[in-house]
Amino acid sequence: MNTTPTQPAATTPVTSVPTNPTNPASSADTPAQSAQSAQAATQPALQPAEQPATQPALFRPPQLSWRWFPVFRRNLLVWRKLAVPSLVGNIAEPLITLVAFGYGLGALVGQVQLGGTTMPYILFLASGSICMSAMNAASFEALYSAFSRMHVQRTWDGIMNAPVRLDDVVFAEMLWAAFKSLFTSVVILGVMLALGISHSPMLLLALPLLALVGIVFSSIALIFNALAKGYDFFTYYFSLFLTPTMFLSGVFFPRDQLPAVVREISSWLPLTAAVELIRPLFLGQWPAQALQHLAVLAVYGVAAFWVALALTRKRFRG
């Protein structure tokens, strides 16, 4: 992640230039020059030679080190103790939805026409709902659980008493939520295989894609985590962002059903990109416009993590 900074100017500390009211000549010169010369003239008289460090820019690039790993490992250790109940909670709900809608509604709907292909509704729904589960699992972890650790338990404060940067903590939380989401996806995919919904060997390719979906949605969720005053705030995120996303992204019904304008918007949603990439794999086909969809996910992921990090830095700046 230590890639080329896109905002090189932001990393250069801005030194504040003191104006000198006792120097009347300064007003004649260009402000910058005069202030500089005034500073040079008074420098020996000014007391402490050491200037305080200027506040670094919020949007500077992530400063990451391997210290994110012990933070990730901490979450893993907690989870190992609570894995079984948390697994049941994470997986039961999506599977119940799949079975109820897939077989119940599927009996009414029968086959779904998508592009040139016809497929049973259960297959259509399964391939969309695994993306939705990945989204939900990542969002829950990066909102409620991360907020508990950041705000309620002050775990992050404790961690930063050790030589660990906030950037590493946020990065670890993002990867952790993505990991948990991927774990959920793997188990659900396993159940789908057992139910015989699809046996395409191309499903193996779905795993890295689902990991990417986890990264994207945990990054977006961490933005709202950084802004939250309490848990109530997350209700807005779920009902105003995730629920519409779910219905607009072709999880439950083909996007052809949407009005043209809404369909256009939906084309640029991250969950749409995920569904468009993963659904063909269930049918043993290569996704169309794969690069475009991957690019959409990548842009959402990088931009969201960057914003989340900046807002979290702002939150922790006292």
Partner 1 sequence: MTQPLFEVSHLTKRYGAATVVNDLSFSIAPGECLGVIGPNGAGKTTTIRMCLGLTSPDAGSIRYFPGGAASGGSGNGGPGAALAMPQDALAIKERLGIVSQFDSLDPDFSCAENLLVFGRYFGLKDAVIKERIPRLLEFAALTHKADAKLSELSGGMKRRLSLARALVNDPQLLLLDEPTTGLDPQARHLMWERLQRLVQQGKSILLTTHFMDEAERLCNRLLVLDHGKKMTEGTPRTLIAQNLEPDVVEVYGAGALALLESPLKALAARVEVSGETLFFYTSDAKRLLAALNDYPALRTLHRPANLEDLFLKLTGRQIREAA
- Residues at the site binding partner 1, with contacts judged by CB under 8 A: 47-48, 50-53, 55, 67, 70-71, 73-74, 77-78, 81-82, 153-155, 157-165, 316-318
How many Cβ atoms are within 10 Å of 238's Cβ, its own excluded? 16
Cβ distance to partner 1 smaller for residue 51 or 292:
51
Residue closer to partner 1 (CB basis): 74 or 263: 74
Shortest reach from residue 64's CB to partner 1, in Å: 13
Query: Per DSSP, which regions of 171-235 are E strands?
Result: none
Nearer to partner 1, 78 or 298 (CB): 78
User: How would you label 44-80 residue by residue, b for 16+ Cβ within 10 Å and e otherwise?
Assistant: eeeeeeeeeeeeebebbbbebeebbeebbeebeeebe
The two structure tokens encoding residue 68: 């994110």
- Contact partners, residue 298, CB within 8 Å, separation at least 6: 212
Whether 181 and 213 have beta carbons less than 8 Å apart is answered as yes
- Measured from the CB atom, the residue of 146 and 220 that comes closer to partner 1 is 146
Q: Which residues touch 158 (CB under 8 Å, ≥6 apart)?
A: none
Q: How far is the CB of 297 from partner 1 (least distance, A)?
A: 32
Concatenated DSSP letters of 283-304: TT-PPTTHHHHHHHHHHHHHHH
Q: Give least dist CB 147 to partner 1, A.
A: 15
Taking the complex as a whole, the smallest distance from the CB of residue 65 to partner 1 amounts, in Å, to 8
Question: CA-based angle 43:46:48, to the nearest 5?
Answer: 115
CB of 66 to partner 1, least distance (A): 8
Nearer to partner 1, 167 or 276 (CB): 167
Q: Could you tell me the two tokens for 273?
A: 């990109």
Distance in Å, CB of 154 to partner 1, minimum: 4
Locus of tokens 């969201």: 304
Say if residues 279 and 273 touch (Cβ distance below 8 Å): no
308: which 2 tokens? Answer: 């989340």
Q: Of 20 and 200, which CB lies nearer to partner 1 in the complex structure?
A: 20
Residue 151 CB, nearest approach to partner 1 (Å)? 11
Q: How far is the CB of 11 from partner 1 (least distance, A)?
A: 14
* Cβ closest to partner 1, residue 230 vs residue 318: 318
Identity of the residue, 72 or 300, whose beta carbon is nearer to partner 1 in the bound complex = 72
Q: What is the dihedral sign for C-alpha 268, 269, 270, 274?
A: negative
Q: 10 Å Cβ neighbour count for 259? A: 8
